[in-house]
Amino acid sequence: MIDLHCHILPALDDGAFDLADSVAMAREAERDGITVVCATPHIRDDHDVRIEELASRVSAVQDELDGRGVAVRIAGGGEVAQPAADGLSDAHLRDVSLDGCGWILLEPAPGLIGDELASLVERLRQRAAGVIVAHPERHAGADLEARLRALVQRGCLIQWTAEFVEHADDDALVLRLARAGLVHLLASDAHSSHGGRSLRLSPARERLRDVCSAAQLEWITERAPAAILRGEPVSAPW
């Protein structure tokens, strides 16, 4: 499996405390069967993340994991906040795309998803960027399904937080949306091994077995993320 959204880089944003925390997070991923973790620090005004330093920070974590025999690859990226996206240069936009291959993990502005997000998606597409909308469960309004369908029609993929899906009740909205084909990707959005969301995907994948086919689950957790990291065009086959 591949985790496309994780704050595993140490001492940077609100993610891993230090390198030991990053290693512990990677070990947790390894135990869950995750082979690639995208390091996606916040790209927004309230965090001093210097995009030009990200590649070396990723390399430092990877070197530590390799030295300790942890079989997890760290891929680069960023979680780009909606208000920050337009201000990024084309070079910086590419640098914070997932594994540098053109797909942007986009964090909606606080509150409900509105028309502004769809407009931003269009502008990013004009800059040759694919868009993954992160954690829509945090921005749910009465029209969430309609908003997500409109984003999908613009070429977006929708990424749900694994822990949220894992604990969904049988009548939860996310499971209904999964039946409707609006769960495209699962990601941990983990921040630390010391607490909060765990760096694992398999419990959420198992929770979706009641509403998704085996082929769908493989696409969500393996095939689609792998294609994204290759920079390929991706759209749900259902």
The mean of the pLDDT values for the chain is: 97
Q: Is the pLDDT of residue 128 over 90?
A: no
- What local confidence, expressed as pLDDT, does residue 157 receive? 98
Q: Is the dihedral of CA 190, 193, 196, 199 positive or negative?
A: positive
- What local confidence, expressed as pLDDT, does residue 129 receive? 83
Could you tell me which of 130, 140, 87 has the C-alpha nearest to residue 106?
130
Q: Where are the domains of the chain?
A: 2-229
The two three-digit tokens of residue 138, written as one number: 């945090």
pLDDT tens figures, 183-219 = 999 999 999 999 999 999 999 999 999 999 999 999 9
pLDDT tens figures, 97-119 = 999 999 999 999 999 999 999 99
How far lies 172's CA from each of 97, 179, 185, 207, in Å?
31, 11, 17, 12
Could you tell me which of 206, 199, 213, 209 has the C-alpha nearest to residue 24?
199
Instruction: Report d(CA 73, CA 64) in Å as an integer.
Output: 11
Q: Which residues pair with 3 in a beta bridge?
A: 37
**Lowest-confidence pick of 64-68, 127-131, 154-158:** 127-131
The two three-digit tokens of residue 97, written as one number: 């795309």
Looking at CATH, the fold of the domain delimited by 2-229 is given as: TIM Barrel (3.20.20)
Q: Name residues whose C-beta falls within 8 Å of residue 174's C-beta, 6 or more positions apart in sequence.
A: 137, 160, 164, 165, 168, 183
- What local confidence, expressed as pLDDT, does residue 214 receive? 95
Average of pLDDT values for 11-16?
95
